[in-house]
Amino acid sequence: MLIRRLFPRLLVGLLALVAPCFFPREAVAKEPGEIGPRELRRRIEAILGQAEARRGSWGIKVIRLPDGKVLYARNSDHLFQPASNMKLFTTAAATEKLGPDFVFHTTVESDAPPDDEGWVGNLYLVGRGDPNLSGRVLPYQLKAERRQPADAAFQDLADRVAARGVREVGGNLVADDSYFLFEPYSHDWAEEDLQWGYGAPVTALAFNDNALFLHVRPAGAVGALAQVWLEPLPDYYRLVSRVATRAPGTKEKIVVERAHGSMELDVWGQVPLEARETDEEGTVAIADPPRLIGEMFRRALESRGITIRGQVEVRHTNRLEAATQASKDDRPPPSPPRELLAEHVSLPLREDLRVINKLSQNLHSEMLLRTLGRETKNDGSLAAGLQVLEDFSAQAEIEQGEFHFADGSGLSREALVAPDALIKLLKFMAASPRFGVFYDSLPVAGADGTLSDRFKNTPAEGRIQAKTGTIEHVNALSGYMDLPSGQRIAFSIVGNSHPLDSKEGEKIVDRIAVTIYEWFARNKRKI
């Protein structure tokens, strides 16, 4: 009986001694779906083992460039909400399909040239997806800058129309938004997002990022109402303000609310006496950008002595019209060509790619997605743009099951992407002859864009160029690391369904990124 009891223990002990001969140490104690150096795995697990982080789901992948050797992976084939990492697909596809030198054209046209007395019938202000008709200073340098007036491009167009001899518009002034299908919002965007600048309506004719800046300045005395105003169009909404100035040290709280479709903007709350004036971080969406632009352009023309006899008309393309245009049998005969009176040509697309990725600009990304559809499929719809992204993903050898695209910016909660797909995209772009443009569009750790305040005083400062991603309970960071050895690696870190606030989520992502960098950068060795 004693021999029987001892035998199982002896067998277990023997297996413990010989197991390392058959099973390498790196294969022991892995999390499901995790591969890579054991010590690196341990360090990352320690970061993700924190009480709040461990409640979430995390996907990570790291590869060596250019050959794609996998250096570390954790749940990299799982699908995650990418947040603004979705912009990597949109900007990469645009870089390849449209090219860095693509330009946007905004024109003023008439049915016929002005007659001898300067008369024309209808006048058309035609938008074709230019997202930078605003006061933004381009090229972008380290931080967002704006100059006034924000409507300088439209004022210049009005000057050019007057220079062509137009003195009277006998018909309507048409704000032509028909370059895109009229679908200003993705179907699953949260209603609460739509009042803010980051959820502004998507239009082909846009102004000032289709948003207004909300400014709040405390009054000079405790108890008095703070100053609240909008810029650059202070009277666009009926502003109802009840923001009180409170004693120094009081916690600032400002609530902004606009019912969908309403032109009343309610602002209330409190600001401490010593608070600084709020800046562009507070932006509210413009309810109907083409209508606003049409009225604004009308005033610009009238100030130059041009009489508008008709009304401001907004022209969209609805789904029925789009379907008719797509059908050869039902397609109406082409209209005669219009007379070009004035034109605004944008800077090359490469400049807006920097705005999109460095500032994580949602509207610009959505406009670019629809431009991709219009320019490559003659269909300026969300669906056509998403089809372009799917076709492009196939070029990058990304499999269908590795993504589900729902918009171009990542604001959608239905978008799903695996870290494997993000890594394949990054590897594909690293081999592209246009890679320099794509790489240059990404934020630099500790230097600019959405990474300007991250990775400061860490070994990774200035060594990471990557796209951030943040929505509620989601944090992501995907891009490139340059090691001291001169080698470059691509990485993707995506966290979902965690209870951390956005800043705490960023800290977890950044600790993982620095840990990855330090591991592969140590001793400046080749990997």
Ordered by where they begin, the domains of the chain are: 44-99+348-522 (3.40.710.10), 103-190+287-347 (3.50.80.20), 208-285 (no CATH)
Q: What is the C-alpha to C-alpha distance for residues 346 and 253, in angstroms, rounded to an integer?
A: 39
The whole-number pLDDT of residue 279 equals 52
DSSP-assigned letters across all residues of 497-514: S----HHHHHHHHHHHHH
- The helix/strand/coil state of 284 is strand
The whole-number pLDDT of residue 94 equals 98
Residue indicated by tokens 């000032």:
208
pTM: 0.90
**Among candidate residues 167, 162, 168, 177, the one with its CA nearest the CA of residue 124:** 177
Q: Which of 110, 134, 178, 360 is catalytic?
A: 360
Q: Which of 84, 346, 381, 393 is catalytic?
A: 84
**Among candidate residues 43, 15, 21, 20, the one with its CA nearest the CA of residue 31:** 43
262 labelled catalytic: no
**Among candidate residues 36, 73, 66, 86, the one with its CA nearest the CA of residue 489:** 66
**Pair of tokens at residue 439:** 């790489």
The whole-number pLDDT of residue 32 equals 63
Q: What is the C-alpha to C-alpha distance for residues 432 and 49, in angstroms, rounded to an integer?
A: 38
Q: Using DSSP, how many helices (H) and how many strands (E) does the chain show?
A: 12, 22
**Nearest-5° Cα angle at 347, 344 to 350:** 150
87 labelled catalytic: yes
Q: What is the C-alpha to C-alpha distance for residues 131 and 163, in angstroms, rounded to an integer?
A: 26
524 labelled catalytic: no
Q: What is the C-alpha to C-alpha distance for residues 240 and 259, in angstroms, rounded to an integer?
A: 13
The whole-number pLDDT of residue 31 equals 63
Please state the three-class secondary structure of 361-383 as a single string. Answer: CHHHHHHHHHHHHHHHHCCCCHH
The whole-number pLDDT of residue 77 equals 97
Q: What is the C-alpha to C-alpha distance for residues 204 and 206, in angstroms, rounded to an integer?
A: 6
Q: Which of 61, 76, 87, 492 is catalytic?
A: 87
The whole-number pLDDT of residue 26 equals 41
**Pair of tokens at residue 425:** 């995209």
Residue 56 φ/ψ, nearest 5 degrees: -95, 180
pLDDT digits (tens, 9 = 90+) for 35-54: 889 999 999 999 999 889 99
Helix (H) or strand (E) holding 55: none
Contact between residue 224 and residue 309 where contact means Cβ atoms under 8 Å apart: no
Residue type, 500: L
Non-local (6+) Cβ contacts of 242 within 8 A are 225, 266, 267, 268, 269
- The helix/strand/coil state of 191 is helix
Which stretches of 4-104 are assigned E, i.e. beta strand? 34-35, 57-64, 70-74
The whole-number pLDDT of residue 15 equals 40
**Pair of tokens at residue 463:** 């060594």
Helical residues (DSSP H) of 183-318, grouped into ranges: 289-302
Low-confidence ranges of the chain (pLDDT < 50): 1-28, 280
